[in-house]
Amino acid sequence: MKKVFVGLSGGVDSAVSAALLQKDGYDVTGVFIKAWTPEGYPCSWKEDRRSAMRAAAILDIPFITLDLEKEYKKEVVDYMIAEYKIGRTPNPDVMCNKEIKFGYFLKFALKNGADFVATGHYCQTSPPTRSKTKSRIAETPLSLIRRGGQGDEVLLLEGKDKNKDQSYFLWTLTQDQLKRILFPIGHLQKSEVRKLAGKFGLPQKTRKDSQGLCFLGKIDMKEFLSHYLPQKRGEVLNIEGESIGHHNGSLFFTIGERHGFTITNKTTQGSPVYVVSKDIAKNTITVASKITTHQKSQGEPLTLIGLNWILEEPNLSKKYLCRIRYRQEKIECKIKMEGKKIKVIFDEAQVAVSSGQSLVLYDGEICLGGGIMNL
């Protein structure tokens, strides 16, 4: 019997993951990760923990609470604040997966005798198949998905439910990590997961999905950041450089945003405008009614930093697919080397490209890895 520590969040996805693994004969232990909660915000972790404990009790599996409050504050929250401070828009969920779920949690599990960790992410893993990858992936059975940890190289694949696929947030994973990770529900649709919860007698069947940031939930980002970054009144400019309004700090905005600033110019009031650029040094943001016309980086290659390739570096002569934001339709691109820098070139100009966000590269349904866009 292989021993697996399942990250029980209190939700239906992780509860069903634990149930499926138990059904398949794994020695399952449920682990609730306690993260940091900002002072003055609703404390949801206690209710989440109670829900996770109920799932563990019904399945009759051991239950552990892993306190990673300090680690989460340092690796996720402090990182997020530091990125906003220099004018970038970070992906805290990417960092949460990298440092917390598959960093500290994985290390804790292996140190305490586990062979694997498992989570309720909607993605899959499989050994590579060089020739007929696409057809093989489409028919990947659960037994093949779980072959990690046996010395084979492992592919990270999109989840079957394309509306829930979370591979975008997992591009930082390495081979060593993937060989120790199980994604038991990656081959299922969300509707199937809820049905299975009912069959297993899990009360999470009707529990609402969590929303917002990893562990923190749905928060007003500008309000949250205002506790850590100083607000400073600045000008809203049009594309001609004329002042048409004001805001409380360029640090708080991301490209493509259309709320949070005030337009005082009567000719512009009433029409939707979008942030197309920002100047941190001058504390200004520039807005336009058509973001597709005025995106600063349109048509220009994007530079990536903090690169991670899950299996191997991409082929520079081949076209790939990529996402520059979660749930975006994949778009065609090519990879180019300029010295030691990686640049991404698109067939069509992209809009609302935000420095600090993740660009994730795909070969069909295979997630190859990615990097942080640095404009």
Residue/partner pairs of 253-258 with CB below 8 Å, 24 or more apart: 253/278, 253/285, 254/89, 254/354, 255/89, 255/295, 255/352, 255/353, 255/354, 256/291, 256/351, 256/352, 256/354
191 burial (CB, 10 Å; 0-12 / 13-18 / 19+) is exposed
Distance CA 103, CA 164 (A): 23
Contact 293, 273 (CB under 8 A): no
Token pair belonging to 216: 């923190």
Residue 182 makes CB contacts below 8 A (sequence gap 6+) with 4, 17, 21, 116, 117, 118, 125, 145, 146, 148
Considering the candidates 96, 123, 322, 367, report the single residue annotated as catalytic. 96
CB distance 63 to 32 below 8 Å: yes
The pLDDT value given to residue 129: 41
Is residue 96 part of the annotated active site? The answer reads yes
Side-chain-facing half-sphere of 149: CA atoms under 13 Å: 17
Query: β-strand 302-309 against 319-323: which pairing, if any?
Result: unpaired
CATH number given to 302-373: 2.40.30.10
Q: At what angle do helices 12-23 and 45-59 cross, to 10 degrees?
A: 20
**Amino acid 299: pLDDT:** 57
The pLDDT value recorded for residue 184 is 97
Quick check: helix, strand or coil at residue 67?
strand
Report the C-alpha gap between 161 and 21 in whole angstroms. Answer: 20
So what's the pLDDT on residue 217? 73
| Residue type (1 letter), 1 | M
Output the pLDDT for position 147.
Answer: 42
Report how far apart, in Å, the C-alpha atoms of 222 and of each of 33, 74, 247, 249, 291 are.
26, 20, 12, 10, 22
Q: Which of 116, 114, 136 is nearest to 127 (CA)?
A: 136
123: annotated active-site residue: no
Our CA angle for 45, 51, 57, nearest 5°, is 135
Please name the fold of domain 3-206.
Rossmann fold (3.40.50)
Which sequence spans correspond to the domains of the chain?
3-206, 230-294, 302-373
Domain 230-294 CATH class label: mainly beta
Both tokens assigned to 11: 């939700």
Question: If 0-12 CB within 10 Å is exposed, 13-18 middle and 19+ buried, where does residue 223 land?
Answer: exposed
Contact present, 120 and 185 (Cβ < 8 Å): yes
Phi/psi for 137 (5° steps) reads -65, -40
Q: What is the pTM of this model?
A: 0.88
> pLDDT in tens for each of the 375 residues of the chain?
899 999 999 999 999 999 999 999 999 999 999 999 888 777 788 999 999 999 999 999 999 999 999 999 999 999 999 999 999 999 999 999 999 999 999 999 999 999 999 999 999 998 754 333 343 344 444 444 444 444 479 999 999 999 999 999 999 999 999 999 999 999 999 999 999 999 999 999 999 887 767 767 777 888 889 889 999 999 999 989 999 999 999 999 988 888 899 999 877 767 789 998 899 999 999 999 876 544 444 457 889 999 999 998 899 999 999 999 998 999 999 999 887 788 999 988 787 788 999 999 999 999 999 999 998
Element holding 158 (H helix, E strand) = strand 155-158
As a whole number of angstroms, the distance between CA 274 and CA 281 comes to 20
Catalytic residue among 43, 123, 214, 367: 214
